[in-house]
Structure 1
């Protein structure tokens, strides 16, 4: 109504449009007392704002070719609402929609009559609504239930407790579920990703580690996971608080195609070469080469069951503190990792063997703590 732009409302499947988002928009105009200003055409899945002629289009994502044909020559489509975003299996599907529908440069072109005095220019707006998937490691929860939120993104979380228009029967049912099935209540009514089973590393704390804290840390351990080809190299420096059983991730060197020489130079420049580094023992040549650069390093002992034991030891800690500015790659890995599943979808007692280089590095670095009580081998 305010801006001379058109909008598109979408869901994954076309045949769910008419009885959901179309009716929701129509109901909104009634609540606002402006329904007489709009023309509703369910057969074409279009709503037109009569005073100007700009429209709200509706489409399903099950026919990508139809999306390419949506074009409004006079009023560019610059507002996108995707309802039930969790119906999309991958983020790539959503990105394809954005790129197909919202492509014209708008900056400086669309200015509302009432806003001209404020020199405010309208730009694209995307709205995604959904109930969080139960599984914490779904792409949707990873993207929006994360410490890594894009600067141009605002995430709002609301529940039925914020809705003043619900019936008493709905609230009574919610309270019944809360009393009898608290996990079901947490997911269906409170929007929490409760998972289908045990979630790894529920002991993570993402916060800033201050310089004063850093100076007080004296129980330092370090590790390396060697990169090869597309797999990244990872070095981590950590502090272990043995009294409170807390692990702090302090610094990282992470990237692809980092040579042993470059890795050693970085370690020496940081002054980390004097404390023993426990590295993946699968590359003895790399370990030998690092020693020639003055780095104290040796291979992890490993052994049968060492991976599962190391992961369980980390999971059993009281707290793993991660500063996502100091160790951003490690933060993302720990936040996103999930357990492996079998052919039936049941969880195994081992983490996924992908995007876990910082986690492997942490296991190597802390191996002396598990093998020799609480003292660090130096």
Structure 2
């Protein structure tokens, strides 16, 4: 290795116990900016160099998400440790190979179960697995299948599964299995931005502002504590892989697209769904969720996704933006009606549906997990939703407006 690792200089403080842990399960939840993913990437590059017979399997719910997350993080980590040239970095197929030993880092997605079960290495032992964004793994059984694959003789190397995630909802199986259990051979840790000495003043200010303006969000995204367990507005939703072409063949199924504008503090969010009014089912199959987008960039993102010819119902609070989007090629963007009690009526209508969310729509899942009824000064629920975790869900509500009105007319209500 061409560079000596100094935890203090390269990794910083707050992770020594995590770095050195060799228990079977190493589970790390944390807020944004807590350096949990970058530290994990540094740790694995260091370990692979230290143990020349070890190999690593990296798992995400959706395979395509690796390129801009785990793959990029591991490349960055190798550079930080002066070890980048020791590895071949391949994209097709996506894998990393250590030149001197043949050790591999394999990347797999749970959206392709066969690729996961067929993961094998030619040199050494597949002894470590890393589940990044583990909260997106909604089925404990999917985790168990990988857990069972990290078995057998490993030449004396320790076997370990590492999970890193943002703790969006207390209801998730991760909480019960690892944090509310006294199971042996489990290491758990919670970190947040306060242990990240590499953040600058502007980064810290964003969290301090969140602390004042959005204490509920600060608890989860700032401090890394578990999200809500009760009071969810949309309870009847499920994450599920589904075939869009099969759903679209159903009688009377139609598409529904909505758009909520954001910029500096809030993301611009687009929802894309198929609606089955006969069976009262709603299938969310795509999303846009990004901050600091100008109108031409919004139009470009939507066009690149292939939705430029769709009717998109957008937030009526920004008529200039709607006109601008039309000028940039989204000619079927229309404004939503924001009448009295429109939020309440929109929510009540969507609540009549069973919602299925494709696993790739992680922001939709996060919002559905955290969108709750607000509380009064006595900590009692009131008939009003919180004004947080609602950017995608506002877009979804806009998208359902035309269907709701048509449904209302048919029933003569």
- Paired residues for 1:16-27 under 5 Å: none
Name the CA shift for 1:79/1:330 in 2 (closer, same or farther; >3 Å).
Answer: same
Q: Which runs of 5+ in 2 are unaligned?
A: 1-12, 54-126, 128-152, 184-225
Q: Look up the match of 1:360.
A: 394
- Paired residues for 1:32-47 under 5 Å: none
Is the 2:255–2:275 Cα contact (8 Å) retained in structure 1?
Answer: yes
Q: Look up the match of 1:78.
A: 21
> Are residue 308 (structure 1) and residue 340 (structure 2) matched?
no
Structure number with the bigger relative contact order (C-alpha 8 A, sep ≥ 6) is 2
Q: Look up the match of 2:276.
A: 241
Is the 1:261–1:290 Cα contact (8 Å) retained in structure 2?
Answer: yes
> Are residue 332 (structure 1) and residue 366 (structure 2) matched?
yes
Shift of 1:354: 1.2
Query: How many residue pairs are counted as aligned between the two chains?
Result: 250
- Distance in 2 of aligned mates of 1:141 and 1:283: 30
Q: Look up the match of 2:313.
A: 278
Q: Look up the match of 1:207.
A: 240
Is the 1:369–1:375 Cα contact (8 Å) retained in structure 2?
Answer: no
Is the 1:238–1:249 Cα contact (8 Å) retained in structure 2?
Answer: yes
CA deviations 1:81-119 (Å, max 9, x no partner) are 99xx9xxxx9459x79998xxx896667699xxx9x843
Q: Look up the match of 1:344.
A: 378
Q: Look up the match of 2:9.
A: none
TM-score of the pair, normalised by structure 2: 0.49
SS class of match (2:169)? helix
- Distance in 2 of aligned mates of 1:279 and 1:97: 36
Name the CA shift for 1:213/1:337 in 2 (closer, same or farther; >3 Å).
Answer: same
Q: Look up the match of 2:405.
A: 371
Name the CA shift for 1:207/1:288 in 2 (closer, same or farther; >3 Å).
Answer: same
SS class of match (2:321)? helix
Name the CA shift for 1:212/1:315 in 2 (closer, same or farther; >3 Å).
Answer: same
Is the 2:248–2:254 Cα contact (8 Å) retained in structure 1?
Answer: no
- Paired residues for 1:92-111 under 5 Å: none
- Paired residues for 1:147-296 under 5 Å: 155=177, 198-216=231-249, 218-294=253-329, 295-296=331-332
- Distance in 2 of aligned mates of 1:96 and 1:229: 23
Shift of 1:358: 0.6
Is the 1:144–1:155 Cα contact (8 Å) retained in structure 2?
Answer: no
Name the CA shift for 1:357/1:69 in 2 (closer, same or farther; >3 Å).
Answer: closer
Is the 1:236–1:253 Cα contact (8 Å) retained in structure 2?
Answer: yes
- Distance in 1 of aligned mates of 2:407 and 2:247: 23
CA deviations 1:123-159 (Å, max 9, x no partner) are 77889xxxxxxxxxxx85726706xx7xxx9946999
Shift of 1:355: 2.2
Q: Look up the match of 2:158.
A: 122
Q: Which runs of 5+ in 1 are unaligned?
A: 1-64, 71-75, 128-138, 163-192
- Distance in 2 of aligned mates of 1:235 and 1:77: 42
- Distance in 2 of aligned mates of 1:341 and 1:242: 32
Shift of 1:222: 1.0
Is the 2:280–2:352 Cα contact (8 Å) retained in structure 1?
Answer: no
Larger radius of gyration: 1
Q: Calculate the aligned-residue CA RMSD, in Å.
A: 4.8
1:142 to 162, 169, 173: 169
- Distance in 1 of aligned mates of 2:235 and 2:388: 19
SS class of match (2:393)? helix
- Distance in 1 of aligned mates of 2:170 and 2:355: 21
Is the 1:79–1:125 Cα contact (8 Å) retained in structure 2?
Answer: no
- Distance in 1 of aligned mates of 2:369 and 2:385: 12
Name the CA shift for 1:197/1:237 in 2 (closer, same or farther; >3 Å).
Answer: closer
Is the 1:234–1:254 Cα contact (8 Å) retained in structure 2?
Answer: yes
SS class of match (1:332)? helix
Q: Look up the match of 1:171.
A: none
